[in-house]
Amino acid sequence: MRTDICIQPWERVDDLHRKGYHIIQDPKRFCFGADAVLLSGFAKVQKGEKVLDLGTGTGIIPILLAARFPMGSCVGLEIQAESVEMAQRSVCLNELEQIVQIKQGDIKEAAKLFAASSFDVVTSNPPYMNDGGGLRNPFAPKAIARHELLCSLEDVIAAGAKLLHPNGRFYMIHRPHRLTDILCLLRQYKLEPKRLRFVHPFVGKEPSMVLVEAIRGAKAMVKVEPPLVIYRKEGEYTEEIMEIYYGE
């Protein structure tokens, strides 16, 4: 880890517990949550593949993927300039400049920023709440991260479909109450759902998140994987979650 990267007084540097990587965060803006870590554990990236992360925020998913896989490259696309600058510093902090690039841009314009069918893998941890859902955070960066203010679920899926090559893989984490919308939009844009995994806080509790894999142009057949349970008991992670967070 480099020691010459500027860290602002209001920022903190968090240990990601993988390969010695860290990330710069501003607690007043938006800090990554379990969903980003779970998505990085669900996605599969082969050696040398090109990855695009839509709505990358402070770059957490590209950095975690770089820790997990020998990928060729990863671009994180983010619309908020402050998050882009912070993510770029985190990339430099971890000496990942040869692998990870952070680019400022609008997901709705992604097809103009990158060549069609140019990525092997697209990931996204998009805003969960549509116009009718949830209390809106009055602080703009957090509201943008949580609510579909600057892009919709359809914008994310449409961008992924245009930028993946045939048989390319699309990975997303979202809320179960949006699952019908997700599956309908994926098929509409020729991204065939292939794997679903529901994330439960405890055994016997209803799921709080769903992980989705879709493949561009694949035949119809979806596999529902065993539930992923976060806590064995209050404050104690299950073995699988420990492996996702801390395993090498």
The confidence score (pLDDT) of residue 141 equals 52
Interatomic CA distance for residues 136 and 12, integer angstroms: 25
* CA–CA gap between residue 215 and residue 175 (Å, rounded): 20
Q: State the pLDDT at residue 109.
A: 96
pLDDT over 90 for what percent of the chain?
A: 85
Percent of the chain surpassing pLDDT 70: 90
> Per DSSP, what are the bridge partners of residue 121?
51, 169
Helix (H) or strand (E) holding 155: helix 153-163
Please tell me the distance from the alpha carbon of residue 63 to that of residue 248, in angstroms, as a whole number. 14
pLDDT, tens digit (0-9, with 9 covering 90-100), for 47-103: 999 999 999 999 999 999 999 999 999 999 999 999 999 999 999 999 999 999 999
Task: For the chain, state the CA radius of gyration.
Answer: 17
Q: Look up the pTM and report it.
A: 0.91
Average pLDDT score over the chain: 92
The pLDDT tens digits for 168-182 are 999 999 999 999 999
Name the one residue in this structure whose structure tokens are 């493949």. 215
Encoding tokens for residue 243? 């492996």
Per the structure block, which two tokens stand in for 81? 């300039």
* Coil/strand/helix, residue 232: strand
Beta strands in 8-88 (DSSP E): 12-15, 22-25, 50-54, 73-78
- For residue 38, count other CB atoms closer than 10 A to its CB: 21
Domains of the chain: 12-246 (3.40.50.150)
**DSSP letter string over 4-22?**
-S---TT-EEEE-SSTT-E
Which pLDDT value is given to residue 128? 66
Buried b (16+ CB within 10 A) or exposed e, 167-187: ebbbbbbbbeebbeebbebbe
The whole-number pLDDT of residue 139 equals 46
Phi, psi of 45 (to 5 degrees): -130, 130
Gap between the Cα atoms of 186 and 166, Å rounded: 14
Backbone angles phi, psi at 214, to 5 degrees: -135, 150
Q: Which amino acid is at 128?
A: Y
Q: Over the stretch 109-142, which tens digit does the pLDDT of each residue have?
A: 999 999 999 999 999 999 865 655 444 445 445 4
What is the structure's pLDDT at 1? 84
> Residue 35: pLDDT above 90?
yes
